[in-house]
Structure 1
Amino acid sequence: MAAPAPAAAGENPYGLMAALEQGGVIAYLTFGILVLMSVGSWYVFFVKFIEQQKIINEGRRARTAFWQSANLREGANKLAKNGAYRQIVDDGLLAEEQHTKLTDPVDQHDWMQSSLARSQGAINAKLATGLALLATVGSTAPFVGLFGTVVGIYRALIKIGASGQASIDAVAGPVGEALIMTALGLVVAVPAVMQYNWLQRRNKAISEELARFANDVHGYLVSGGALKPTVRAAAPARPATAPAARPAAGATTAAGAAATTAPKA
């Protein structure tokens, strides 16, 4: 049996490319699936992060400039046209107009509350779009890597059976391929799980802030504008005042001495 050709200088015979070449079609297919899963998870992460950040920035404007407007129509024009907070205001105003057209008597409070709840539900559903991919990648990527591991171990056992001896040079390649596939599965899965949990936490905070804003809009509408959240303005800076000038030490001593020596009337 001919000995395997020695590796070129500086070339790792047990690296990733060597493992893929030894693994053949199955190794390339497993590696390609893991790469697609990783690219997809990072794409979803950045897209959802940008989307969340837009809503957070819009919420800052809604807490300040929006409630300083004369009415909801004027305040809505200060918000992003297709933003989440603008959608809640528009849906609230639309529900107010529709309530006057109802033939059956429906309490305005219940009608407004259900309309704003539907608006919040639509926004929350949009925020959750794509997170299922992160959850799927985080839960299945280790098993995809495990599939490559099983195939690598299987190939190692075949080499042992074919050669009749469990020498290191016979099984190092397939075992190395198996370990590399396991590591790739973890490299893809761990970031996806962390991204999913972090985005979910931010979605929860955004949802709570939207619920508070919708409650304020609901109170404003059913009260005819009487109920309005208080907007805290920034405290004005205090003017700098120069400290009172202190008399020189020599002048104080001279004044005291003059008062002591002055004759009494």
Structure 2
Amino acid sequence: METATHPAQLGLAHFIAQADMLAHFLLAILLVMSVITWYLIVPKSIANWRMKKNAQAFLERFWNASGLAAVGDYLQKNGINDPFSHLTHHGLKAAEQFRGKTGARLIESGSEDEFLTRALRRAINQDTARLEYGHTMLASIASSAPFVGLFGTVWGIYHALVNIGMSGSGSLDQVAGPVGEALIMTALGLAVAIPAVLAYNFFNRAKRQMLSEVDGFAHDLFAFMSTGVRNNTRVDNDVPRVYVAPAVRSA
């Protein structure tokens, strides 16, 4: 008959030592999920903070600029660091490309407004994809981690009951320890899932708020750009003739 395990010996370390290969595999999965979650949370939080800071600086400079030419000079000097500057960059490039179009390419088809609309829409789509980076992974971890932990708990309870049955002792002190250890897997699953859920909700809300502001800014920018494209005099005086694409910097 196996000797009883002292309560002081029970715990996470004892559970890991007594676990089989499947339990170790599930623990490794939870560990990988946790590492991925925090790998996404920390850099993405820093990137969002920098993006908001750069967006505020650009919008302040944009609305205080003397014209679109000054905005273009600012972009060439400081680069693209946020969705607003990225949108403006695409608008200025579209204006420059439309003035030099040959009509031989499909992308050059359509009116001035359609040309600008396509350019701004592409920029918004690119920013949307960039802001949604990691969201699918966080949602997958948040939804699957509890079930991974629960599966480990069921597997651990099964083996604990088998061992108790083989020992021939079904007293409460013999059952509570192994079953309690098996519940550690459920706790670990929740510990992995909760940060992923909170991070997903936070980043998703920040994305919706940012895209809502970008969409409003796109309407204002479209009004400025479409007016400039239709008025040749304003284009010559306001939008730089040769607009060199600035270096794109990571947010």
TM-score (norm. length: structure 1): 0.76
Task: Please tell me whether Structure 1 or Structure 2 has the larger radius of gyration of its CA atoms.
Answer: 1
Residue identity opposite 1:132 in structure 2: T
Q: Post-superposition shift, 1:210?
A: 1.3
Q: Which residue of 33, 37, 44 maps to 1:41?
A: 37
Where does residue 50 of structure 1 map in the other structure? Answer: 46
Change (3 A) 1:2 1:125: closer
Contact 1:34-1:188 within 8 A present in 2 as well: yes
TM-superposed deviation, 1:58: 2.1
Letter in 2 for 1:72: L
| 2:218 aligned partner | 214
Q: 1:167 to 1:209 in 2, by over 3 A?
A: same
Q: Which residue is 1:240 aligned to?
A: none
Query: What's the CA shift for 1:5?
Result: 6.4
RMSD over equivalenced CA pairs, Å: 2.3
Distance (whole Å) between structure 1 residues aligned to residue 116 and residue 89 of structure 2:
12
For residue 183 of structure 1, report the CA deviation from its aligned partner: 0.8
Structure holding more helix per residue:
2
Aligned to 1:144: 148
Alpha-carbon distance between aligned partners in 1 of 2:87 and 2:121, rounded to the nearest angstrom: 9
Most deviating of 131-140 and 62-71: 62-71
Change (3 A) 1:190 1:5: closer
> 1:123: which partner in 2?
127
2:157 is aligned with 1:161 = no
User: TM-score scaled to structure 2, two decimals?
Assistant: 0.80
Q: Distance in 1 between matches of 2:28 and 2:208?
A: 34
Task: Report the Cα offset of residue 170 of structure 1.
Answer: 3.5
Q: Deviations over 1:154-213 (max 9, x none)?
A: 112212331234223433343122211111111111111111011100001111111122
Correspondence list, 1:242-253, <5 A: none
Cα distance, 1:116 vs structure 2: 0.2
Shift of 1:150: 1.1
Unaligned runs of 5+ in 1: 228-265
Gaps of 5+ in 2: 235-251
Structure 1 residues 5 and 179, CA gap change in structure 2 (3 angstroms): closer
Q: 1:82 to 1:105 in 2, by over 3 A?
A: closer
1:14 aligns with 2:18: no
Q: Match for 1:204 among 208, 214, 229?
A: 208
